[in-house]
Structure formats: C-alpha cells, structure tokens
Amino acid sequence: MGETANIRRIRYLLIALVALYLIGPTLVVIWLSFSTDEVLRFPPHLFSWRWYEVFLFDERWNEAVRRSLLVGSLATFLATIIGSVAAFGTARTRLPGKQIVEIFAIAPLVVPPIILATGGYSLFAKLDMIGSNIGLAIMHTVLGVPYVYLIVSSALARTDPSIELAALSLGANRWRTIRDVSIPANLPAIITGALFAFLISFDEVVVTVFLSGSLAPTLPVRVFSSLSLAVSPVVAAVSTVQIIIAIVLMCLVGFLQRWQRRWAEAVAH
C-alpha cells in the first residue's frame, strides 16, 4: 500500500520535472516580461506592464508586427493552396510522378534552413528582390508547404475516396465537385494546415535575416536583433505575446482535428 503510493509519488515528480524542463524557458520569458528593470536581468524586479506598453506604442515594433502579418498572410495563402493541391494530387489521382511531388513537398522540412536561406538569397539578389515582401513571402511559402501537405494528406487518407465520385455521378462537374465536396469535406484539415503555415512564417528567423535586407525586419528578426544590440526586457514582452498567439492557435488546431476525425467516421465499416 505505502509502497505503491511512493511509486506514484515518484512518477508524478518525474512528470513534473520533465514538464518543467520543457516549459521552463517559456515560463522564465513570461516572468521577465513583467520586469521593471531597464535591462534584461535575472531574476527581474517585478511588476510592471511597461514593456508591453513599449511594444504596443513603439513605431519600430509596430512596423515589425505589420510586416510579419503581411508576409505571414501571403505565405499562408500560397502555402495552403500549393500544399492542398499537392496533397489531393498524390492522394486522389493516378498521375505518374506522384512520389516526386511528395518528395518536393516535404523537402523543405529536411533541408537545413541555412541552405534554403543561402539559395533564396542568391536567387533574390539576382532578381533585386532582397528586402521585398513578395520575395520573403515566397520563401516562407516554401517552408509552410510541407506542413499543409502532410496535414491534408493524412486527412485524405482517412476520408472516403468515393465521395468525389459520388458527386460526379449525381451530376456535379469537376469544379462543383471540388467546391461542394473536396474542399468542405476536408476543410478542418486545410485550416489546420494554414494555421501551421502561418505559425512557421510568424517565427521564422534564419531565412528572413538573409532576405529582409535594409527594410524593417519581421517580428522575430527584430527580437533577434534587439537581443544582440541592447538587451531590453521588451523582447520578453514580445515573446510572451507570441507564445500566447501560438497557444491559441494550437487549441484551435486541436478542435479542428477532432472535427475532421468525426467526419471520417461517416465511411462505412
């Protein structure tokens, strides 16, 4: 009796330690964001919202947020379309070269970002697009495609492949079939993929550093450069906001996945 209680206590302790190890750095950042100090120091003197005010009202930070949102939206839009089309193409057609499409769609996940950054830099330097939002969005799209592709593919593997044939037999042409059946029946997965693509773009640093040129950087790059210039606790406040955004999006992803899984149950067993 006493022994099992002890074992249970040890188990909970281990779980708590692992959890602390995983989220410890995040908790430290949140803690630092409420600092009253002028510079980042640990442990901080508490408690103030001043660094959140700086983040909200400083034009340079606002500029970074705007740029992140603009590039992120554009990259999300493109990555969602490209990734979904590739997923449908490989899951629902018998076209030759499917494996090649698959490899290309997943490649950016395994190629080190520094290589993509170097390649992107050489290409866009030639095109005189260093510092352009379009160039940056294109590179972020490349990074987001694998996530959309993998998430939509796995949803397609679970939904009934006959539903598109059914729509065609009922009189829907190919366009109506895509609009009325293919997209809505996989919408939760497509939205999940889009959220991931956005998150990837929203905290990408390496490729962005190479491509942002002299223009105002995106939010994570601005965080990065402020850390190396003057160590102000504002970066902790910014990071905390980013963490909250990430948590909200992940909750949304959890909800969307449950939704998509319920649809998969409509298949006959």
CB of 266 to another protein, least distance (A): 4
Kindly tell me which of 201 and 260 has the beta carbon lying closer to another protein: 260
Kindly tell me which of 47 and 175 has the beta carbon lying closer to another protein: 175
CB of 84 to another protein, least distance (A): 16
Q: How far apart are CA 251 and CA 269, in angstroms?
A: 30
In one letter, which amino acid is 38? E
Kindly tell me which of 37 and 160 has the beta carbon lying closer to another protein: 160
Structure tokens at 158: 């679970």
Kindly tell me which of 82 and 167 has the beta carbon lying closer to another protein: 167
In one letter, which amino acid is 192? T
For the chain, give percent helix, strand, coil, nearest 5.
80, 0, 20
Q: How far apart are CA 107 and CA 241, in angstroms?
A: 31
| DSSP-assigned letters across all residues of 1-13 | -HHHHHHHHHHHH
Site residues, another protein (CB under 8 A): 159-160, 162-163, 165-174, 176, 180-181, 184-185, 187, 262-269
Kindly tell me which of 56 and 266 has the beta carbon lying closer to another protein: 266
CB of 267 to another protein, least distance (A): 6
Kindly tell me which of 66 and 179 has the beta carbon lying closer to another protein: 179
CB of 194 to another protein, least distance (A): 17
CB of 158 to another protein, least distance (A): 10
**H/E run at residue 119:** helix 113-126
Determine contact, residues 236/83, Cβ cutoff 8 Å: no
Number of helical (H) and strand (E) elements in the chain, helices listed first: 13, 0
User: Which of these, 218, 194, 223, lies nearest to 71 by C-alpha position?
Assistant: 218
CB of 232 to another protein, least distance (A): 49
Kindly tell me which of 155 and 195 has the beta carbon lying closer to another protein: 155
Q: How far apart are CA 136 and CA 199, in angstroms?
A: 15
CB of 94 to another protein, least distance (A): 9
Q: How far apart are CA 198 and CA 189, in angstroms?
A: 14
